[in-house]
Chain A
Amino acid sequence: MTKKDWQQLGKGLAFLSPWLVGFAVFTALPIVMSFWFSLCDYTLLQKPVYVGLENYRTLVWGENPAGGYGDPWFWKSLWNTARFAAMFLPSAMVVSLGLAMLLNAKIRGQAIYRTIIFLPSLVPAVASAMVWLWIYNADYKQGLINAYLMKLGLDPVGFLALKEWAMYALVFMSLWGVGNTVVIYLAGLQDVPKELYEAAEIDGAGMWRQTWHVTIPMISPVIFFNLIMGIIGSLQTFATPYILTDGLGRPERSLHFFAMYLYDNAFQYLKMGHASAMSWIMLVIILAWTAVAFWSSKRWVHYQGK
């Protein structure tokens, strides 16, 4: 490297220094530490004691005295999280893409519609949980939905009180906050060159075929971005189920999410070793899914050559 190169390097690193320090202290170090903790018996009160893979064994595959393998609550929380992601991600994608297409149509009052659909995504998780707790209230005289069900002559449903319903209720209310994604899709739709639709129209393609053969491939990079963010977001779902259920994940742990059990292990039971093992499992799951998404993207994501 020439003297100039060194100078440039010095300058560059000087500007990067806040992030370099932050990365070392608030990202790299915590990840390495949690790997060490995950191999230890650690209660915060005493120094960590190395126990090898014991934490992972107890959580994941070790034989459980109560029968079965691993920690049933661990598996339950993982299952709930996966189930939520499997229900929410596809429905959010369809809903937000559909909404973006509707909002992209040239009709009067569009600006108002766009604002209305975007607004709920601004609502803080706490406030939205409060509102939905109230709307879902199982007492028909209080809960909005149940009151109207009763008026229609139907039986009231304990949306958040029955384990069969709770997850659907959560997915439904989460779709209310989909506006953020809608805006991203909308911007993507507006980047699609008009000529493509004209060409498709001349070739006799109707609305559906235009959507399928022009719109979707053209915005596939945006879909891909949202998919990755969606996977990461779903895996760390915490605030909404925590607030809806007082941190308990009730009924019968049907809303007990992975991040909630991680939190419980760390700050309720002071099992920092278990919590750290869960951190690493979460990290590995995220990396694996991102890798799968990237790998599969070669088949369905089309980048425009620029």
Chain B
Amino acid sequence: MSVAETTDRPVVVEYRMPRGVNRPRQHPERWFAHLALLLISVGFILPFAWMLSTSFKRLEDTANFPPQWIPDPFMAKNYKTVLNHPKMHFLMFTRNTLIVATLAVVGTTLSSAVVAYGFAKIRFKGRGALFAVMLATMMIPFPVIMVSMFAIFRWLGDHNMGQWLGTYKPLWAPAWFGSAFNIFLLRQFFLTIPDELSEAARIDGCSEFGIFWRIVLPLSRPALAVVALFTFMWAWNDFLGPLVYLQDQDQYTLSLGLQTFQSMHGGTEYNLLMAASVLVILPVIVLFFMTQKTFIQGIATTGVKG
């Protein structure tokens, strides 16, 4: 992982040791850490392993006692069954989720970057106060505003301003107006870009938007990637939003679709349920492994520099 392993503290008596002695072996603490991490890691993997194992079992084998970890027979067919299940339109749910996630990602990345540029690079009266207000909005959770948001979208529909409820729009449209968290993250990054660059461009007659678009944005790819990634994950995982706004089952996202499938005939086909869960998790995990460095740095930055 990206975080450098440099925090080992030198031991004062070290110089007395003969050269060539492998220092790590001398530390009981280190052995303890090794052992503890090994055990904890096994514990953290177990739910994944059990999910994977169950997903390859026949339904009757899911109830074997004692628990059977290696499925026999190995039912890779379960995944095919899930993908073509008449009660759970997995592919359609995936498509729906991707629509919402893509629109949210594009919208929030663009708009948050524009706003972050204003906060980072343009000096004007009241900027500090507005920035404080923006930070404060991060504390307002969705449940606090969801009733009014629902009422607003309903009102828009009733007043000939397009249908909102029962469409994907309420799920992605707000993202096009910037989100406080992303604006904050990008602003922190923009601040590290030296002003000399923009000054030089300004002297060459570049407009403010030109500086933003042609100089600052291209230099900020890592930060933009973090914002895009986090937003995608958020949209992929979101449950309450789709639950409130979507009405027709054909529009459900994966989260909502999977929950509905489970609650309609839950407790029965755990092998299929686990296969579906694996399929929901898989893209997220793959995405993580593809972007590990960016990802971890993004989380670390928000927590430490915040």
Interfacial residues, chain A to chain B (CB-CB below 8 A): 1, 5, 8-9, 11-16, 18-19, 21-23, 25-27, 29-31, 33-34, 37, 44, 99, 102-108, 110-120, 122-135, 137, 139-142, 144, 147-148, 150-151, 176, 180-181, 183-192, 194, 197-198, 201-202, 207, 222, 225-226, 228, 232, 235-236, 238-239, 242-243, 246-247, 259, 262-263, 266-267, 272, 275-276, 279-280, 282-283, 286-287, 290
Contacts and interface: CB of A to CB of B under 8 A. Distances in A.
B256 to A, nearest CB: 8
A123 B281 contact: yes
Given A120-B44, A126-B258, A131-B277, A201 B130 contact: no
B65 A140 contact: yes
Given A29-B152, A130-B258, 14 more contacts: A15-B212, A25-B177, A27-B140, A107-B33, A122-B281, A123-B281, A131-B47, A131-B51, A135-B47, A183-B299, A188-B303, A194-B7, A238-B143, A262-B147
B66 to A, nearest CB: 6
Contacts of A22: 111, 174, 176-178
A246 B304 contact: no
Interface in B221-243: 233, 236-237, 239-240, 243
A183 B47 CA distance: 21
Given A105-B33, A111-B1, A183-B300, A238 B177 contact: no
Interface of B: 1, 3-12, 24, 29-30, 33-34, 36-37, 40-41, 44-48, 50-51, 54, 62-67, 111, 114-115, 117-119, 122-127, 130, 133-134, 137, 139-152, 154, 174, 176-178, 183, 208, 212, 233, 236-237, 239-240, 243-244, 254-256, 258-259, 262-263, 266-267, 270, 273-274, 276-277, 280-281, 284-285, 288, 292, 296, 299-304, 306
Contacts of B255: 124-126, 239
A131 B124 contact: no
A8 B303 contact: no
A15 B118 contact: yes
Contacts of A282: 141, 143-144
A236 B141 contact: yes
A123 B300 CA distance: 19
A26 B7 contact: no
Contacts of A185: 303
Contacts of A242: 239
Q: Which of B44, B64, B122, B137 gathers most chain A CB within 10 Å?
A: B44
B52 to A, nearest CB: 10
B67 A144 contact: yes
A8 B122 contact: yes
Contacts of B274: 130-131, 134
Contacts of B63: 139, 141-142
26 contacts: A5-B125, A8-B125, A19-B111, A19-B177, A30-B149, A31-B145, A33-B151, A37-B151, A105-B30, A107-B30, A119-B44, A122-B285, A125-B237, A126-B259, A128-B47, A131-B51, A142-B62, A183-B300, A187-B303, A188-B303, A194-B7, A194-B9, A197-B9, A236-B143, A238-B240, A263-B146
A272 to B, nearest CB: 6
B139 A106 contact: no
Contacts of B40: 99, 102, 117
A127 B65 CA distance: 24
Contacts of A124: 236-237, 239, 254-255, 280-281, 284
Contacts of B236: 124
Contact of A286 (B1, B117, B139): B139
Nearest to B257: A126
A26 B149 contact: yes
Nearest to A195: B9
Nearest to B65: A141
A225 B178 contact: no
A251 B82 CA distance: 30
Nearest to B264: A246
Contacts of A18: 111, 114-115, 176-178
A119 B263 CA distance: 26
Contact of A37 (B44, B126, B148, B266): B148
Given A23-B133, A235-B141, A119 B288 contact: yes
Contacts of B285: 119, 122
A112 B270 CA distance: 30
Given A18-B176, A188-B304, A222-B304, A11 B124 contact: yes
Nearest to B301: A187
Contact of A114 (B1, B62, B263, B288): B1
A107 to B, nearest CB: 5
A265 to B, nearest CB: 9
B208 A11 contact: yes
Given A126-B239, A147-B67, A232 B141 contact: yes
B265 to A, nearest CB: 12
B305 to A, nearest CB: 9
Q: Which of A187, A239, A259 gathers most chain B CB within 10 Å?
A: A187
A16 B60 CA distance: 59
Contact of A30 (B1, B139, B152): B152
B123 A8 contact: yes
A225 B29 CA distance: 29
A16 B239 contact: no
B185 to A, nearest CB: 14
B114 A31 contact: no
